[in-house]
Structure 1
Amino acid sequence: MSIHALKRHQCNLAWDNSIPPVVRIVSGDQVTFDCLDASNGQLSPESTASSIGAMELSLCDQVNGPVYVEGADVGDTLQVDVLSIENADWGWTALIPGFGLLTDEYPAPALKIWKLNHKEGFAWFNEAKGMKIPLRPFAGEMGVAPGKKGSFSTIPPYPTGGNIDTKHVTVGSTLYLPIEVEGALFSIGDGHAAQGDGEVCGTAIETPMKVTVRLTVRKDKSYTKTPHFSTSISSSDEEYYCTTGVDSDIKEATRSAVRNMIEFLVTEYELDKVDAYMLCSVAGDLRMHEVVDMPNYVIGMMMPKSVLGEKA
């Protein structure tokens, strides 16, 4: 087994199977990636809300790579074992105009800069109110090159991975990706210190990261057509406060669930609407509670009570 390393500048802004690999490895090798945050270094701990308008969005969501894995053939599966993640001591969450589940209701840019306490494993959301976010770092972008020719944006997810933003694929987890081109051409990026399921405002706690993965070619998982993952979620006595949205349209039910959680946080915890929306994005989890009684879908937004304190 060999260990390889990619630097921050060894990155791309598209999924494209014509991009030459940065490094070639054999199956089972480890690779460490040093990645900038999703802004591609355009934001810093000194940035303000005005910095959002100055960002060049076409430079965001870069991925480091690609990595060519010897022996990876079309139809195989790439096994990605997440071995370690090290985030920076700061991060950011933003409302970006035109982006997010409720973008039409939050048109103004906003920015929150976080201090990440890795020693104790949390970041204060509002220290005066006792609200803190547990740190659960992961890479939002993990994928392989698509089989189709052309350049594809890094913003959405694809059957080959990409911006899957799945918080459960963290250290100790394993991701499986369908290989559509020789060598797989794996890339990674978009470091998150914490995120709620759904990432509703469009951003998590975005942060630079160093992540080490082991890449293994699997010849026995030809059924892998979309990203699969294996993870362990530790059992706990965590309690949640949940709001719901009910509608014949899944998107509108989802928007309603988030909107109702925002109203709850504003009323009960005296947060302003922008902060409440960000809190939903970094700590709240969306769940599909009811789909069988169509056309009445029930979507839940679940907020851990440990984030809110004892009041909820």
Structure 2
Amino acid sequence: MPFRRHAFPRCLPVVLLPLAAAVHADTRESFVILEQLAPTATRLEQGEYAGNFYVPSSLDNMTWGYLPNRTAKPVLSVPSGSVVTFDTVSHEGLLEDQGRDPAAYFGSHGVKPDHVLQEAVALTSSERAHDFAKDGPHVVTGPVAIEGAEPGDVLKVEILAVEPRVPYGVISNRHGKGALFGEYPKTPAQADASTAHPERYGNLSIFTPIEQAGDGYVGVLDGGDGRKIKFPLQPFMGIMGVAADTDQPVHSVPPAHYGGNVDVNDLGAGATAYYPVAVPGALFYTGDSHFVQGDGEVALTALEGSARATFRLTLLKSGASEIPGKQLSQPMGENDDFWITLGLDEDLDEAMKKSTREAIRFLTEQYGIDDTVAYAYLSAATDFEVSQVVDKTKGINSMIRKSDFAEFNE
């Protein structure tokens, strides 16, 4: 795919994405921020995304710190098979320990006011309540109802594109969180921390610009002595899911059977995720966009930044032959090369057991092999990856190679 500086393809099967701007003075004027396409949820009639349904990150379409539940009102209802584009806003740069003022926070790192998303400014300057100590950090966009979806069905979510809306992100480490909490951050927290004095939280947020590298882009960290650490982007949405069957608030941090903050970095453009439907309409939502994340996400966050995500949402009715493993009680995924089963638990050992059990169940149901053979195969030929250890509920996912089962598809 040729690089296009001012145009954005509707389907991006690779991770080298054309970005909308650059922070450095010699290149920043050449780029255009991905501003919202319409003020309200609608179907687009013209432009690059013509024919897609569209959901902007307006105040009416965003929740902060919580996921939709069965009482949530859909911002849009679409038929099965629809392509839906969401504009999302990252929480990084918006939170109380960063001053709840994205224009000031990003401005302090050299970002011009017109390169700060207006939706971010609107959210933080609104009266929207957000308790830094109690609420989740994530800004979530949606939900979208899928016509005809009922409990027992499965929602198939094809990830067509994840496009950064801005040319910068943030990597954060906060007290009490991360794989090495108690050791990092090194600056102690103070009891009187507030949005007026965000430095008193003692948390660490590293602003990370994006630079062009050939036909793609890389994140750039200061390595000291004038040296730069550069790493390629692999954008994906940390939060995707369907509404939980409860009328109680659903915190945005721990992932669960409905999806949510699963943070599996293999579920980027070209991959497909599946979610068991628990409420009428399914109520799909997304947020927490990551420009790139290492397995484990050990410091607390990935390189987080605002993104535009495009999905095809297809309803699979209960019992449909297209449902992987014939049935689902929790999310799973696939890409061209692998089936991906999840294990979620507060205990990492238990998450490993759950991922293994789910992988065995999937193999026996999908391919009709004996469970002991499936267990042996997994031990010999399947990698189990730690998706994240920082979201209360930890995650491990299997990577089951599809090509190993070529004879089962003949």
In the alignment, which residue of structure 1 is the partner of 2:55? 6
1:111 paired residue among 190, 205, 209: 205
Q: Structure 2 vs 1, CA of residues 91 and 198 (structure 1 numbering), >3 Å: closer, same or farther?
A: same
Q: Deviations for 1:186-237, whole angstroms, at most 9, x for unmatched residues?
A: 0000011010011111100010111111100012135111111012469xxx
Give the letter aligned to residue 66 of structure 1.
P
Alignment of 1:145-156 (within 5 A): 145-156=243-254
Confirm or deny: 8 A CA contact 2:92 2:170 kept in the other structure.
no
Confirm or deny: 8 A CA contact 1:38 1:189 kept in the other structure.
no
Q: Which has the higher contact order (CA 8 A, sep 6+)?
A: 1
Alignment of 1:1-312 (within 5 A): 3-9=52-58, 10-13=61-64, 14-15=66-67, 16-39=69-92, 41=94, 42=100, 43=102, 44-46=105-107, 56=132, 58=135, 60-87=137-164, 88-107=166-185, 108=187, 109-117=203-211, 119-126=215-222, 128-129=226-227, 131-219=229-317, 220=320, 221=323, 223-232=327-336, 287=385
5+ residue gaps, structure 2, are 1-42, 44-50, 95-99, 110-129, 188-202, 339-346, 350-382, 387-395, 397-410
Deviates more, 1:203-212 or 1:31-40: 31-40
Instruction: Name the SS for the 2:216 alignment partner.
Output: coil
Q: Distance in 1 between matches of 2:294 and 2:307?
A: 18
Q: Distance in 2 between matches of 1:116 and 1:286?
A: 31
Confirm or deny: 8 A CA contact 1:45 1:90 kept in the other structure.
no
Task: Calculate percent identity across the aligned residue pairs.
Answer: 32
Instruction: Name the SS for the 2:211 alignment partner.
Output: coil
Give the letter aligned to residue 115 of structure 1.
P
Q: Distance in 2 between matches of 1:226 and 1:68?
A: 19
5+ residue gaps, structure 1, are 49-53, 235-248, 252-284, 289-298, 300-312
Give the letter aligned to residue 286 of structure 2.
I
Q: TM-score, normalised by structure 1?
A: 0.69
Instruction: Name the SS for the 1:184 alignment partner.
Output: coil
Q: Distance in 1 between matches of 2:211 and 2:237?
A: 18
Instruction: Name the SS for the 1:66 alignment partner.
Output: strand
Confirm or deny: 8 A CA contact 2:62 2:142 kept in the other structure.
yes
More strand by share: 1
Confirm or deny: 8 A CA contact 1:137 1:191 kept in the other structure.
yes
Give the letter aligned to residue 55 of structure 2.
L
Instruction: Name the SS for the 2:292 alignment partner.
Output: coil
**Which stretches of structure 1, 4 residues or longer, exceed 6 Å deviation after superposition?**
none
| RMSD over aligned Cα atoms | 2.9
Larger radius of gyration: 2
Q: Distance in 1 between matches of 2:144 and 2:253?
A: 20
Q: Structure 2 vs 1, CA of residues 149 and 196 (structure 1 numbering), >3 Å: closer, same or farther?
A: same
Measured after TM superposition, the shift of residue 6 of structure 1 is 1.0
Give the letter aligned to residue 123 of structure 1.
G
